[in-house]
Structure 1
Amino acid sequence: MNFPERFANLPVATWPRLRGLLDSVPPGGDVINMTIGEPQHAFPKFVTDTVMDALPDLNKYPNNNGIPELLEAMAGFLNRRYGVTIPTDRIMALNGTREGLYNALMAICPETKGGAKPNVLVPNPFYQVYAVAALSVAATPVYVPATKETGHLPDFAGLDGKTLDQTAVVYICSPANPQGAVADHDYWKNLFELAVKHDFVVFADECYSEVYRDTPPIGALEVAEEVGLNPERLIVFHSLSKRSNLAGMRSGFCVAGPEPIARIRSLRAYAGAPLPGPFQAVAAKVWADDTHVAESRALYQEKYAVADEVLGDLPGYMSPVAGFFLWLPVKDGETAALKLWSETGVRVLPGAYLSHGEGAYNPGKSYIRVALVAPKEDVRQGLIKLKSCLYG
């Protein structure tokens, strides 16, 4: 059976592509994996006991939308972090935000806009789920460069009016993966003005919001409340994966206006899988606790300092203000990643594997992404080897 024609331009999955590049070549030293953004810090100690206490719930079907305690904890997080009060009936518990980022588009993207196929705007580089979701609903993904010239955030306002008028949904990630750039107040305000003018919905992926250097990144919800944005025009996504080092637990949530959240919940009744009951009980306690988040963030701040110390004198080095990736300029990302692996055993990700386009038109081609998730001394050794191999 062939894929539908709309999947002809499906992006090649990042990790099989990386394995194809590196795995046939022996590492040139002790392996230090700096590719995947899988947090390695300890998760809260109370998680294990809470899981054990909640295991009897495995004989019950999990609540599709999220148990009341979980939704209340999520609303409490939003209030503490952003100063907004969101009713729990506008929050949907997710089995990881990847599910939500995909299924929310399935639930709300129209089949046509103005009598033609709708556009879905995607930052470039991007999290690949954005593009795959657009193709799945037979929309046209429009890749908007997020480069040094645009502050590593997509310049949606620079698009022509026809493209924007045909747009149904805009994906935006802040803090950005992979560059660590943060959308400020004016960026959000301007984006919301475009949403109103051109009649589209903003999908704000804020999964890295709790990993930052100094200042907590401003959130879409607080700016939306300030400017009086219709809540139907914004869906915001959050996750415990990065915030609490619980990538395997798959606890995330989305916040939306009454109509979008109703559509997302309706789709979940037929497709997708709710978070298992024991994990919902655990997640409620984790979302309600901020102490472990601050402790984990302090460890990332130490690794920011290591990166600045080792790489700060390199031309083009950009010290991230948030997130846990370095976006390092090289001549060619694939060549650099293969050289680094074969000569040192340090494993990084070519930037082109996160971007759309051919040759010079791929905004990630001349970068590598380096994850700062390993223990601090492993990060230090990896960056020292990286610098000597690629920039020495």
Structure 2
Amino acid sequence: MNPDLDRLQPYPFEKLRTLFEGLPTDSPHSAIRLSIGEPRHDTPKLITDALAANLNGLANYPLTTGTPALRQTIVDWLMRRYGLDAVSAETQVLPVTGSREALFAFAQCVVDRTQPNARVMCPNPFYQIYEGAALLAGAQPLFINTVASSDFSFDISGVDADTWRTVQLVYVCSPGNPTGHVMSLDEWRTLFALSDEHGFVIAADECYSEIYFDEASPPLGALEAAWQLGRTDFRNVVVFSSLSKRSNVPGLRSGFVAGDAAVLKQFLRYRTYHGCAMSPSVQEASIAAWNDEAHVIENRRLYREKFDRITPMLAPWLGVQKPDAGFYLWARTPGSDTDFARGLQAEYNVTVLPGSYLAREANGLNPGAGYVRIALVAAPDECLEAAERIVAFCRAGQ
């Protein structure tokens, strides 16, 4: 077996199951699960209709590149969303079967394991796929702590030149999971300059880009930042986007990567062997989704309603603030994050995720410790009920 498999830690939800072992299974409260970032708003009918109308596509082997129609639809969306003047549907876009598989596969393509001390940098806390991808590509993860004192920014100012020379890939997540931080143009400028100097590739995870609160101020994207800074070839930058959160279709497994044509040429070569082409039926449903914004605006309205009602309820107890974007509250617990999550589960049947499970110790600190991630993904009334139970739990623990 691949010995690097032994370097993988249990996934956060495996740790959560272990944490809850021995708790009573009967509760006077209905279960409310706010631990996983799985959107539970209704899937738009236009997507299910398009899927059902194109089931004849199941009779065909799909192309790894996807159909020209899907690629052009994605290009059109990128240009509308980010104000880009030109993106090539032939060389700068690839459909992927969800951003998760693409984020993992990308490291296998990019990392040169023949180089000594190859490193993959990522924020800490982080989406656990980044670490697994690095380890199974033969690289060592390098964690950058994102903490409240720096507004949860991806602060790379303390990384020295010798370390940068070993970095081959940098994962960034903006809007961030779990903090919701959106990278500024200055942050992108710094990262791009370091990429130019040291040659690493940037993988920008943007799966939360369409969950934000001000319709007039959508989050800045990596390609948008590159374009504004004159990097119109998007050199060494690839973004990863998905319909899962935007359109409430996590089971569709549909997304795309876009950016540097030279990098994507090699990623396509890898994917041709990887065997992860998108079903033609899913491609047609994806075209319908990317072409419609009305359902996305309504989706944001529901999240905005939840955050506006729930943030003031929890703020006095857990110090929460509305994030820049995304659908998580990053809540500071009065004591141990694991004790808080276990107690809340036991007494009120509300599931949240301990922040320490989303991070690793780096520079003597686990930056997720003392936090829980609360995913406001359920219906508004259910999320409100969960918030009321959390307040009752905190009040009882005073």
Please classify the TM superposition score into its range, dividing by the shorter chain length. over 0.9
Residues 157, 194 of structure 1: 8 Å contact kept: no
Alpha-carbon separation, structure 2, partners of 1:357 and 1:254: 30
Per the TM alignment, residue 359 of structure 1 is displaced from its structure 2 partner at its CA by: 12
Alpha-carbon separation, structure 2, partners of 1:151 and 1:11: 28
Partner of 2:219: 217
Return the match for 1:370 from 368, 374, 380.
Answer: 374
Alpha-carbon separation, structure 1, partners of 2:281 and 2:234: 31
Q: Matches of residues 234-253 of structure 1 in structure 2 within 5 Å?
A: 234-253=237-256
Alpha-carbon separation, structure 2, partners of 1:49 and 1:171: 35
Alpha-carbon separation, structure 1, partners of 2:191 and 2:310: 32
Corresponding letter in the other structure for 2:32: I
Q: Which runs of 4+ in 1 moved over 4 A?
A: none
Partner of 2:45: 45
Matched residues, number: 388
Residues 110, 168 of structure 2: 8 Å contact kept: no
Q: What's the secondary structure of 1:120's corresponding residue?
A: strand
Residues 74, 287 of structure 1: 8 Å contact kept: yes
Corresponding letter in the other structure for 1:32: I
Partner of 1:128: 128
- Structure 1 stretch displaced more, 329-338 or 305-314: 305-314
Residues 223, 259 of structure 2: 8 Å contact kept: no
Q: Matches of residues 47-126 of structure 1 in structure 2 within 5 Å?
A: 47-84=47-84, 85-89=86-90, 90-113=92-115, 116-126=116-126
Partner of 1:304: 307
Per the TM alignment, residue 112 of structure 1 is displaced from its structure 2 partner at its CA by: 4.2
Distance 1:267 1:141, change over 3 A: same
TM-score, structure 1 as length reference: 0.95
Residues 17, 353 of structure 1: 8 Å contact kept: yes
Alpha-carbon separation, structure 1, partners of 2:70 and 2:78: 13
- Superimposed CA distance per residue, residues 252-280 of structure 1 (whole angstroms, 9 cap, x where no aligned partner): 10013122111111111111421111000
Per the TM alignment, residue 315 of structure 1 is displaced from its structure 2 partner at its CA by: 5.9
Output the aligned Cα RMSD. Answer: 1.7
Alpha-carbon separation, structure 1, partners of 2:43 and 2:21: 30
Return the match for 1:351 from 342, 351, 355.
Answer: 355
Alpha-carbon separation, structure 2, partners of 1:188 and 1:348: 32
Alpha-carbon separation, structure 2, partners of 1:46 and 1:290: 11
Alpha-carbon separation, structure 2, partners of 1:213 and 1:333: 28
Return the match for 1:380 from 367, 377, 384.
Answer: 384
Residues 93, 254 of structure 1: 8 Å contact kept: yes
Question: For structure 2, which runs of at least 5 residues remain unmatched after alignment?
Answer: none
Q: What's the secondary structure of 2:30's corresponding residue?
A: coil
Q: What's the secondary structure of 2:131's corresponding residue?
A: helix
Per the TM alignment, residue 48 of structure 1 is displaced from its structure 2 partner at its CA by: 2.2
- Structure 1 stretch displaced more, 310-319 or 39-48: 310-319
Partner of 2:229: 227
Residues 120, 170 of structure 2: 8 Å contact kept: yes
Residues 310, 380 of structure 1: 8 Å contact kept: no
Q: Is the counterpart of residue 208 in structure 1 residue 208 in structure 2?
A: yes
Per the TM alignment, residue 391 of structure 1 is displaced from its structure 2 partner at its CA by: 4.8
Per the TM alignment, residue 232 of structure 1 is displaced from its structure 2 partner at its CA by: 3.1
Partner of 2:9: 11
Q: Percent identity?
A: 36
Return the match for 1:280 from 280, 283, 301.
Answer: 283
- Superimposed CA distance per residue, residues 174-223 of structure 1 (whole angstroms, 9 cap, x where no aligned partner): 00001111111111111111111222111100100000112210111011
Per the TM alignment, residue 227 of structure 1 is displaced from its structure 2 partner at its CA by: 1.6
Partner of 1:318: 321
Q: What's the secondary structure of 2:317's corresponding residue?
A: coil
Alpha-carbon separation, structure 2, partners of 1:61 and 1:134: 31
- Structure 1 stretch displaced more, 246-255 or 156-165: 156-165
Alpha-carbon separation, structure 2, partners of 1:75 and 1:290: 15
Corresponding letter in the other structure for 2:274: A
Residues 95, 251 of structure 1: 8 Å contact kept: yes
Question: For structure 1, which runs of at least 5 residues remain unmatched after alignment?
Answer: none
Partner of 1:150: 150
Residues 73, 285 of structure 1: 8 Å contact kept: no
- Structure 1 stretch displaced more, 170-179 or 26-35: 26-35
Q: Is the counterpart of residue 24 in structure 1 residue 22 in structure 2?
A: yes
Partner of 1:192: 192
Distance 1:31 1:267, change over 3 A: same
Per the TM alignment, residue 157 of structure 1 is displaced from its structure 2 partner at its CA by: 2.4
Per the TM alignment, residue 111 of structure 1 is displaced from its structure 2 partner at its CA by: 2.2
